Amino acid sequence: GLGISGAMAQAASDFTAVDTDASGDVSLIEAQVVWPDLTEEAFAAADTNGDGRVDQAEYEAYLAANPPA
């Protein structure tokens, strides 16, 4: 199976892996599990409707504009 690093690399592009509580959107805390260096400012930039959560459309748009390394 995948090791932790492989799972984390996969999670970086898999919305459902980041949305650990399966709520349909990602909180800052959920996002910081995958990206420990994520700032509140970067999260706010992804949260285009300003509701404090990043939904799948916002997530995909943010990843398209800021591809993982």
pLDDT confidence bin for 26, thresholds 50/70/90: very high
Confidence check: pLDDT of 56 > 70:
yes
The answer for residues whose C-beta is within 8 angstroms of residue 56's C-beta and 6 or more apart is 15, 24, 25
For residue 3, what are the CA distances in angstroms to 10, 11, 29, 49?
11, 12, 22, 35
Tell me the pLDDT tens digit for each residue of 41-53: 999 999 999 999 9
Confidence check: pLDDT of 2 > 70:
no
Distance separating alpha carbons of residues 28 and 47, to the nearest angstrom: 10
- Joined together, the tokens standing for residue 50 give 């300003």
Tell me the pLDDT tens digit for each residue of 8-18: 444 456 899 88
Q: What's the pTM value of the predicted model, to 2 decimals?
A: 0.75
